[in-house]
Copies of this chain bind each other. A is one copy, B any other.
Amino acid sequence: MDAVTLRRFFHRHAEVGFTEFRTAGKTVELLQSFGYQVSYGKDAIDESSRRGLPDDGQLEEAYQRALRDGADPDIAQRMRGGFTGVVAVLKGKQEGPTVAFRFDMDALPIQESSDSDHVPHTNGFRSIYDGSMHACAHDAHTAIGLDFAKRMASRSFSGTLKLIFQPAEEGGRGAYAMAQKGVVDDVDKLICFHLGLGVPVGTVYGGSTGWLNVTKYLAHFHGYAAHSGLSPEQGRHALLGAASALLHIHAIPRFGKSDTRVNVGKLEGGSSSNIVPGYAKMLLETRATVEEVNAELERRVRNIIKTSAEMYELDYEIEITGGAKSIRCDEELVSVALQAASNVEAIRAAEPIFTASAGEDACFLTERVQNLGGLATYMIIGSDIPYPHHNEKFDIDEAALPIAVELLENIAALTLNPS
């Protein structure tokens, strides 16, 4: 299967963070068939470092669904309960550095469009899983990783090639748990990348900056249910408190010295029109280019949730379910990437540093590599997109896939001292 075929397979089987049983299972199967030594399940991810895990029911339901859809039962069994990370290793003929490439695999909780201008729908690879969708190109990332893996399997090189397939990038959760397992502790050079982000096909950035510090929150509001007609005053309205928090979090001021973001992305509460809602919960996030400012945003979010809860005499809890930090790209690796790009015919423009305004949990991998003396970079590979990232009509230009594979091959050639 080529990268495009694989990408469409993964697009159809869109699985959200920590439930990538079909995706990661397929990945293990293929990598094993290419001759890689593959670690996965509890060997690839630290159990207690997994933040923002879905609840047991959701994990089990997705697991059973993957089995029904043809996942290898032995492989899936070892991932059961949310252990969907995969690490593949291929040794070269001679000694040499360990060079790692990272790919993220998870989808988003979005109902994919079935509009007539949405290519995945009209071409028959729309997500078959209601409410889940690849709207951030991770399907393509995984496909690129596997096509790249296949090609490298027949190459001769020195050193060690390591491929990291990561779950749960959305929400800033999976990379941290794999880093904590130590999967990059032997890595000398780590290459990460993302497709899209407004960069057109044929343009590549060898590195990036401006990645936002991100914190993800889950807040619970506990009120008291009452009959809305007989005695509304006996209730404590959880949704009024939550709606207050939602509005005021969005009204947190801009900062003079840092770009910032706030978003309440989900809110659920109450049960019936004639009951004062006794419970509500919300998912939200903050982002900032400056780490201290994100810490200040967290302080303000906590205060707004606290005071909104107290305003309606609610109890509340706040959980941190994920996050990310900024990423620093080493100049040496950026240069390698640009040199590699210059040998890809379809790449018409190669630039050094892209300024992103998103969060990326690859930060936990790059930081660990750098702390241990290694190098890291995070590239942007252009791919035209008709709709914004995270939209129900998001799609990519698949012409980006072979370009990306060739670029990774060239980087491997430059870093794994070719014999």
Contacts and interface: CB of A to CB of B under 8 A. Distances in A.
Interface in A284-333: 284-285, 287, 296, 303-304, 307-308, 310-311, 313, 321
Interface string A353-385: 000111100000000000000000000000000
Nearest to A251: B250
A358 B226 CA distance: 12
Contacts of A263: 228, 232, 273-276
State how many copies of this chain the complex holds. 4
A235 interface: yes
A28 to B, nearest CB: 26
A58 B184 CA distance: 47
The 6 closest A-B pairs by CB, nearest first: A228-B263, A250-B251, A266-B270, A109-B271, A243-B243, A307-B311
A95 interface: no
A41 interface: no
Contacts of A278: 110, 391-392
Given A246-B239, A250-B251, A283 B287 contact: no
Contact of A266 (B247, B254, B271, B313): B271
A197 interface: yes
A225 B217 CA distance: 19
A51 interface: no
B234 A388 contact: yes
A200 B250 CA distance: 34
A273 B171 contact: yes
A264 interface: yes
B246 A229 contact: no
B170 A390 contact: no
Interface residues of A, number: 84
26 contacts: A108-B271, A217-B273, A227-B389, A229-B256, A230-B357, A230-B388, A230-B389, A232-B256, A232-B261, A233-B255, A234-B256, A240-B248, A243-B246, A243-B247, A244-B248, A247-B251, A254-B261, A259-B259, A265-B272, A265-B273, A265-B274, A266-B277, A268-B268, A270-B283, A273-B321, A307-B310
A312 to B, nearest CB: 8
Interface of A: 108-110, 131, 135-136, 170-171, 197-198, 212, 214, 216-217, 224-235, 237, 239-240, 243-244, 246-248, 250-251, 253-257, 259-278, 280, 283-285, 287, 296, 303-304, 307-308, 310-311, 313, 321, 356-359, 388-392
A108 B135 CA distance: 37
Nearest to A17: B272
Contacts of A287: 228-229
Given A171-B273, A276-B263, A359 B311 contact: no
Contacts of A310: 303, 307, 310
B283 A264 contact: no
A317 B118 CA distance: 25
B296 A233 contact: yes
Given A244-B244, A246-B240, A307-B310, A216 B390 contact: no
B271 A255 contact: no
A253 B268 contact: no
A228 B283 CA distance: 13
Contact of A265 (B217, B246, B270): B270
Contacts of A253: 232-233, 235, 237, 250, 276
Contacts of A391: 224-227, 234, 278
A267 B239 contact: yes
B256 A171 contact: no
A150 to B, nearest CB: 31
A274, A389, A390: most-surrounded residue (chain B CB, <10 A): A274
A285 B260 contact: no
A232 B252 CA distance: 10
Contacts of A273: 171, 216-217, 263-266, 283-285, 321
A184 B167 CA distance: 60
